[in-house]
A = this chain, B = another copy of it.
Amino acid sequence: MSLLTQLRQQNPVVLTVANMVTPADVANGLNVLGASPIMSKAVEEAEDMVKLAQAVTINLGTVDAGQRKEMLAVLDAAEKYHVPAVFDPVACAASRYRQETAAELLNTYRFACIRGNAGEIAALAGCDWQSRGIDAGSGTGDLTAIAKKCAAKYQTVVAMTGESDIITDGQELVEIPFGSPLFAVHVGTGDMFSSIIAAFVALGGSPLDAAASACEVFALCGQIAAKEAQTPSRWYELFLDKLYQASDDLLASWKKELQKEEER
């Protein structure tokens, strides 16, 4: 049975410690896919929330002192109850404060997966890269080598998303094509993606397989939507609806359609 089918049957609860910009995107993405989103701000309920969840996502997007405490409380509980965690290091190179917070989290806890763009993964790996704010930026490094280095450094699976998605545990490598440039135009798709990876990780199998499956579903839905709409707002509406409709059969036929097109 595919992981997507399992996800729709098990309806895992994903707790996201979210940024303030895109929590609705994250919640709706999880919801249309068949997972169940919860969010919380109170450190007092961190443990109870983690006990409800089958996976958690930590999003660095608008971290401040209060949320930093909440992240630590959630990750403590996740460790205690063996709930896997995904980390989204949003704009982690943009400030010393984010760098330190990311380092504290990564050095204290072990994540099932880190999902970020090339600039964020390069910063975590300690590689040179030119990034700017929340954008991926551009660099000359070998993307695969950077992803592997980051995965090895933190003993985790890295999903580096972009034109192609690169997923690696430091040794094995999966590459998923089908990235659409429209993903970068709608703010919040990255945040949503990290929480969707968590929903796949929640199923309990290998994080590498979970991240690869999530990437394929996400990218296929995005690119098939981009065939129908080339403007970002209309595209985003279609993309969410594709996530909602996606089944193993539909995904297979979309994949065939997109591969045929590429061959032309």
Contacts and interface: CB of A to CB of B under 8 A. Distances in A.
Interface of A: 13, 18-25, 27-28, 31-32, 36-45, 48-49, 52-53, 61-67, 91, 94-98, 132-135, 185-188, 231-234, 236-238, 240-241, 244-245
Q: Please give me the 7 A-B residue pairs with the lowest Cβ-Cβ distance, nearest first.
A: A48-B95, A45-B95, A231-B241, A233-B240, A45-B97, A42-B64, A27-B187
A182 to B, nearest CB: 10
A18 B21 CA distance: 9
Contact of A38 (B40, B52, B91, B236): B91
B187 A37 contact: yes
24 contacts: A13-B132, A24-B25, A28-B186, A28-B187, A28-B232, A28-B233, A32-B233, A36-B133, A36-B134, A37-B134, A38-B91, A39-B61, A41-B64, A42-B64, A42-B95, A44-B97, A45-B96, A52-B132, A64-B66, A231-B241, A231-B244, A232-B240, A232-B241, A233-B238
B27 A133 contact: no
Copies per complex? Answer: 3
Contacts of A91: 38
Nearest to A29: B187
Nearest to A238: B233
B238 A38 contact: no
Contact of A63 (B41, B52, B135, B186): B41
A49 B135 contact: no
A31 B65 CA distance: 28
A53 B133 CA distance: 8
A11 to B, nearest CB: 8
Contact of A96 (B19, B25, B31, B48): B48
A27 B31 contact: no
Contact of A39 (B20, B237, B244): B20
B45 A21 contact: no
Contacts of A64: 41-44, 66
Please indicate which of the listed interface residues A32, A40, A188, A234 has the most CB atoms of chain B within 10 Å of its own CB: A40
A21 B32 contact: no
